[in-house]
Amino acid sequence: MVKVAERSQKLISEFARSQMNGGQAGMHPELAETGRARSVADAFIALLTNLAGNQRRMMQAQHALLSSYFDLWQSMTKRLLGEDATPVIEPARTDKRFRGEEWTSNVVFDYIKQSYLLTANWLLDTVRDVEGLDPHQARLVEFHTRQFVDAISPSNFVLTNPEILRSTLEQNGENLVRGLENLLSDLERGRGKLAIRMTDMDAFEIGKNIAITPGKVVYENALMQLIQYTPTTDTVYERPLVIFPPWINKFYILDLTQEKSFIRWAVSKGYTVFVVSWVNPNEKLAQKTFESYMTEGVYAALDAIEQATGMREVNAIGYCIGGTLLGSSLAHMAAHGDDRIRSATFFAAQMDFSEAGELDVFIDEPQLQDLERKMDSAGGYLAANEMAHMFNTLRSNDLIWSFVINNYLLGKDPAPFDLLYWNSDQTNMPKQMHLFYLRECYLKNNLAKGKMKLGGETLDLGKVKIPIYLQSSQDDHIAPYRSVYKATKLFGGKNRFIIAGSGHIAGVINPPSANKYCHWTNDALPDDVEQWFNDATQHPGSWWEDWHKWQSRKSGKKIPARQPGDGKLPVIEDAPGRYVKVKGS
């Protein structure tokens, strides 16, 4: 406790000093998130106004809640009298908070659990069904209500979580002391902001036990390095394959471990694989635009691949925002008659943002103005921890509160987990690029409308006539399959659409050897995605083999395998290169 007191005093002193100097990273009080606060406040004022004008509905809602409480009291009374009682409500199948046996076997904790679930569901249903709110306000209200509901879960408190209570009694509170030590360490690491440690950050090293598929960096510029991977087959398809990953995260999500690596698997299937490794930008790259990522990313990679292999034509993959960039670039290329990309695959990528995922709650003009001021004060870029916090709040139970329980209340160290190491290895965003993307895609949906301009061209996805493979995931909250499906009506060529099991990451990173989840296929493309889903065929396991069957037919004949450095581009360094090792702010 003496150590805790000393560290707490030091932390408070440093925090106070930083505030006297204008706050962390030069942030001044007047640059607080006033726009976001205003957007949220306006949404809840509209909610309360509509609720106040519908007293009958409120009375019905309150009666329903009281009725459910009465059912719960009856059920608990039966249990106290030794009778069997059917639960009034049970957690969702995916809810991990109440999996401990005592949440059901102990009458008190079972009552706490069920009363919380009844109240939480009632509150969410009440705000969800209010008429008169515009769609964005409705999403804001539901999102922030869910944040509140998640925060007050009984699983997050010592006296109402049986596992924490038992550990505290058994350890004489030492778990809470260790937890406070962990909390102070996270605050120190975040320089006054809570930077929750999700995994053992010392258990992994890029290039040592993750991102280890053999290859060479054969080209680099200010924005990216281009990696060419070493073949593992005697022959390869003639047409190379280039992957454009998202720059919101680092590329090695596609090369986590030998077992999970899409890159290693694609190399084993006979593809000459190139991957773009984006730089982690700082203030020197603040003026880089979305167009810069096209010219210095997509176009530069195509030029370099031709020098490295002698092949002008390639196949391409774009993941998430890397897919949005690839789609935009294809439209730009179509306007110029540039046919170097002969087929394109999109992993969880959106072209039409009219039904975008949950990130939409962070995007309206007042919030974007706040974001711009924040980036200006930081030197022209969005610090990596800001982006990470935003993504984590979308799944707060899994990515925030579960670690509050484990690290701070149970006093445990987080376990080594490669995916969470990648999730914590954050990247910065250049100001000009980021604002253009958010305004043009999320706010205005100009790419889908045919109004986005890049390189002097108004982009028309309908002019893209090459074969397209669109992968989506059933539970993706960032790029929902309903949103991804809209691209089938935008591209002008022959499209194939599939839905994988799981979400934005696990739905993509699902090797056949894992034998997990499932996927759905349907050669027809009706106007309605739900009709597509109803008529689709479900297949067990990974969708990767379906993609390989599609892609191999568009990759040309087999030729002797190419080695990095064989062409006109000399080897710069071993994969995964320097850029991926740069840490975000």
- Give the start-to-end residue ranges of the domains of the chain: 1-31+171-202+399-420, 35-159, 215-363+428-581
8 Å CB contact between 243 and 195:
no
Whole-prediction pTM = 0.90
CB 117 within 8 A of CB 150: no
Is 114:87 a contact under the CB 8 Å cutoff? yes
Distance CA 479, CA 328 (A): 17
pLDDT for 267 equals: 98
Query: Which residues are CB-contacts of 576 (< 8 A; sequence separation ≥ 6)?
Result: 206, 207, 211, 215, 227, 251, 252, 255, 277
Q: Cα separation of 360 and 39, whole Å? A: 13
- Our measurement of the distance from residue 244's CA atom to the centroid of its chain's CA atoms, rounded to an integer in Å, reads 16
Tokens at residue 17, please?
A: 């000093």
Q: Is the Cα dihedral 199, 205, 208, 213 positive or negative? A: positive
DSSP per-residue string spanning 491-559: SSS-EEEEEESS-TTTTTS--GGG--SEEEE-S---S-HHHHHHHPEEEES-SHHHHHHHHHTTS--EE
At 513-559, the pLDDT tens digits run 999 999 999 999 999 999 999 999 999 999 999 999 999 999 999 99
The CATH code that applies to domain 215-363+428-581 is: 3.40.50.1820
Q: Name the residues annotated as catalytic.
A: 320
Pair 61, 129: CB distance under 8 Å: no
- The per-residue pLDDT string of the chain (585 residues; one tens digit each, 9 = 90 and over) reads 566 556 556 655 655 555 455 444 333 344 345 667 778 888 888 888 888 888 888 888 889 899 999 999 999 999 999 898 999 999 998 899 999 999 999 999 999 999 999 999 999 998 887 877 888 888 889 999 999 999 999 999 999 999 999 999 999 989 998 998 898 888 888 777 788 999 998 999 999 999 999 999 999 999 999 999 999 999 999 999 999 999 999 999 999 999 999 999 999 999 999 999 999 999 999 999 999 999 999 999 999 999 999 999 999 999 999 999 999 999 999 999 999 999 999 999 999 999 987 888 888 888 898 889 889 988 999 988 888 888 888 889 988 999 999 999 999 999 999 999 999 998 999 999 999 999 999 999 999 999 999 999 999 999 999 999 999 999 999 999 999 999 999 999 999 999 999 999 999 999 999 999 999 999 999 999 999 999 999 999 999 999 999 999 999 999 999 999 999 999 999 999 999 999 887
Give the pLDDT confidence score for residue 26 in this predicted structure: 38
Q: Which residue has the tokens 């008190």?
A: 108
**Beta-bridge mates of residue 496:** 469
Phi, psi at 349, each rounded to 5°: -120, 140
